Structure 1
């Protein structure tokens, strides 16, 4: 009986649980749904949609080696998915549809609706565990609830890794050819402009490119990850997040690569490897939060009492932040990096998020949305978790009184200003000290630097705005534990 594999954010053939199960159950065809309206509702970035399409084209070629045809259908939003998948299953005579489980509220509702539609057609719907290391609901507190604190969650994950290391799925063998022709993969969909070639070149598509990047990181950079990861000018991070978000790599593959580089250890040995594995567990933690506390999928704060914060309606300040015109070089350089490359260094994501939510006192949801609209690695769980951590509204979040000073962060993690010079060439002639705070001791208006170089004055005073944020948090109603 024919099986239908429905690809979503799992664009690979290796270590793919649903694909392996489908091909084991019988001859298999595959499908991907184009859902431009839904992607717009989810604020998916044009560069991310382009990355999906480029990886989908590579996936189609990989599937051809297995004699699995990839069909492309359109369901403009997910309300149409039950009918589109149901019609295709009937057209092919498929006995079952296989998917890898996804965990956002909209994703769960979509899959429930598709499962119900298929049941009415007497067609099976099989969800498979794939996108995480541990199944949501399997890492719980002693009272049977989802963890709210990362370090406690990590401790239980460590115990599980000692006793049951997640295994890689074997690559299925090629099946007999089917009399079904694969569909062409579009290079663009309406509503999403194609990015420039430089951005595409920075993020090559396909499993081979992803595995090569992972192996290069494991061979050359993971040893020093702990020391280098906070310095944005150094090649210290893996830059695998886009591949993980699209499912071109699995977290299991990443974990096994790290363990291979660290003699099988995840708590000892190379501090760099241990630190990177901990980052994989952070990613895991935020995905479990989506399931345990679904309100974070719906634009709500994890800590309900923080909904009372008096966020500022400051459109000009928000626009200056979005465009990299705040007058704080490290903030502006980071925002320009994201606008140009679809990616921002992780340390800088925290710095710019804290600046927006604390110094500008602008709602974290504005930042979360803007990031999703520009990041090639935009991922609901990780993006929401990071923003709420920085805003002190989330689980395990930074205490509200611990507010990064962006100039101090710049001096510490970009001491020679090399990153700033890369993205703010108008400041390149400044000395290593002045480049972090060009307007120090100056009124800061107009052309500061004697040669017609203009750079905006800071839009807020860091000290005064910090105090404003402290007062806003102090005046919140007494914090109750999130339900």
Structure 2
């Protein structure tokens, strides 16, 4: 048998369900004409439509170089093809299958609406050519549809979802499979296996008006380095995760999100390393908090599967469609550039723009500020984040934004509005993080670091006045949401 494994956001060899099933299928087949190739499709216009950041694109290309070598060790060549959009994938794969006598294509399921449509189109095209197409459940520990409430419907609140997830979870069944190199592969040419196509380089990166330098050197791309980072976090930082994860001036988070977003690391690898042979009930408070964050990721994956409208820019909560966003669109640019006059917001946006990453607590603060202080549609922020983030993941990003804007599934109540001043004082009391990203505030005393306009020497600073008054905007936001909710039919 000859097979093809189509890699998408699962750029790894370890614990890659589709890859391992394809390898098993080839090994178990009879006959001398065995073969397996891996394929990655660069869909540039689709990436642009989805606002995939230049940082993430660069990380993808760097990872493909490492993945080419890792697959070669398994005697599997990686083919990289460039097409415009998902609509072109069916023809491309069909032609590749015809040219190489491929009988079956394997891939791991994606749950976003466009991606599901893509796979349906590819399946239809291949089956018309009598070529098999198998989608594998890989992205989540429990695939969407396997965690349901007593009514047989999907969960709309996280805590019951998490409880059901934990009740069903059996550590003994958590298997992280490592592939074994194929004995023979008629499609593997050792002389060409380590050569990336000449048309894959930085010129392929679609820029989205980014202000950062597009450098991804801080993120590892070889599997061993990524696993080492997971081990380091699990053994040294996870215990204190519940205390340190909200403090942006220290590295208290795992910073594994770029690897999870691109599938360079699987959620099963993360959980297996965290448990290290234990049951979830035996985890410390910090470890359990991190496990909850991983389950949140699954919760959002399940949501986009059951509610494809989320992939089309819709609010999850129906009455939120009545919200009349009253903000000044000119303020959007100030928010994007980190010039709002609120230090914790501005420092967070500077971090995002320069590194492609933002601390999770800060993501909530700046999202709340955009929707509830500036009274601007959360969709502006959602898309801007995707255009900048190195760890951009649609489900997690959409879920986070709708949670902050109180329009989403199990979101914070609309009357809960983060105060950027008190949030700064609570999580960055000495302004260490603020001063790192806003050096113009170095001379500001700690007492005024989160409200520098109150400092008597504020006029000497090269820093803007607040573009809005938080107290006034809070009242406007409450009225805006209340009117929308009261107009619900």
2:298 aligned with 1:287: no
2:178 aligned with 1:166: no
**Cα distance between partner residues in 2 of 1:107 and 1:200:** 26
Shift in alpha-carbon separation, 1:358–1:259, aligned structure 2, 3 A = same
**Cα distance between partner residues in 1 of 2:373 and 2:112:** 30
After superposition, the CA RMSD in angstroms is: 1.9
Map 1:155-234 onto structure 2 (within 5 A): 155-162=163-170, 165-180=173-188, 181-182=192-193, 184-185=196-197, 186-190=200-204, 192-193=206-207, 199-234=215-250
Deviates more, 1:219-228 or 1:378-387: 219-228
Describe the SS at the equivalent of 1:398: coil
**Cα distance between partner residues in 1 of 2:275 and 2:382:** 32
1:267 shift after superposition: 3.1
Aligned pair partner of 2:58 in 50, 54, 58: 50
Aligned to 1:371: 385
Answer whether contact 1:36 1:189 (CA < 8 A) is retained: no
Answer whether contact 1:54 1:187 (CA < 8 A) is retained: no
1:15 shift after superposition: 0.5
Deviates more, 1:323-332 or 1:299-308: 299-308
**Cα distance between partner residues in 1 of 2:246 and 2:487:** 32
Aligned pair partner of 1:254 in 270, 273, 281: 270
After superposition, give the CA deviation of every residue in 1:381-410 in whole Å (9 maximum; x if it has no partner). Answer: 000000000000000000000111011010
Aligned pair partner of 1:325 in 336, 339, 354: 339
Aligned to 2:30: none
1:167 shift after superposition: 2.1
Q: Unpaired runs of 5+ in structure 1?
A: none
1:346 shift after superposition: 0.2
Answer whether contact 1:75 1:81 (CA < 8 A) is retained: yes
Map 1:341-352 onto structure 2 (within 5 A): 341-352=355-366
Map 1:382-397 onto structure 2 (within 5 A): 382-397=396-411
Aligned pair partner of 1:473 in 474, 477, 481: 481
Answer whether contact 1:101 1:130 (CA < 8 A) is retained: yes
1:171 shift after superposition: 1.9
1:38 shift after superposition: 0.4
**Cα distance between partner residues in 1 of 2:362 and 2:120:** 38
Describe the SS at the equivalent of 1:50: helix
1:172 shift after superposition: 2.7
Answer whether contact 1:89 1:95 (CA < 8 A) is retained: yes
**Cα distance between partner residues in 1 of 2:227 and 2:171:** 27
1:168 shift after superposition: 1.5
After superposition, give the CA deviation of every residue in 1:184-228 in whole Å (9 maximum; x if it has no partner). Answer: 152224452599778322112122221111111012111110110
Describe the SS at the equivalent of 2:484: coil
Map 1:59-208 onto structure 2 (within 5 A): 59-162=67-170, 165-180=173-188, 181-182=192-193, 184-185=196-197, 186-190=200-204, 192-193=206-207, 199-208=215-224
Describe the SS at the equivalent of 1:29: strand
Aligned pair partner of 1:237 in 253, 264, 271: 253
1:65 shift after superposition: 0.4
**Cα distance between partner residues in 1 of 2:75 and 2:471:** 63
Shift in alpha-carbon separation, 1:427–1:196, aligned structure 2, 3 A = closer
Normalised to the residue count of structure 2, the TM-score between the two structures is 0.93
Normalised to the residue count of structure 1, the TM-score between the two structures is 0.94
**Cα distance between partner residues in 1 of 2:73 and 2:93:** 24
Deviates more, 1:387-396 or 1:179-188: 179-188
**Cα distance between partner residues in 2 of 1:125 and 1:470:** 51
**Cα distance between partner residues in 2 of 1:179 and 1:162:** 39
After superposition, give the CA deviation of every residue in 1:229-264 in whole Å (9 maximum; x if it has no partner). Answer: 00001110000000000000000000011101xx61
1:441 shift after superposition: 6.8
Answer whether contact 2:356 2:390 (CA < 8 A) is retained: yes
Shift in alpha-carbon separation, 1:139–1:432, aligned structure 2, 3 A = same
After superposition, give the CA deviation of every residue in 1:5-25 in whole Å (9 maximum; x if it has no partner). Answer: 101000000000000000111
Describe the SS at the equivalent of 1:33: strand
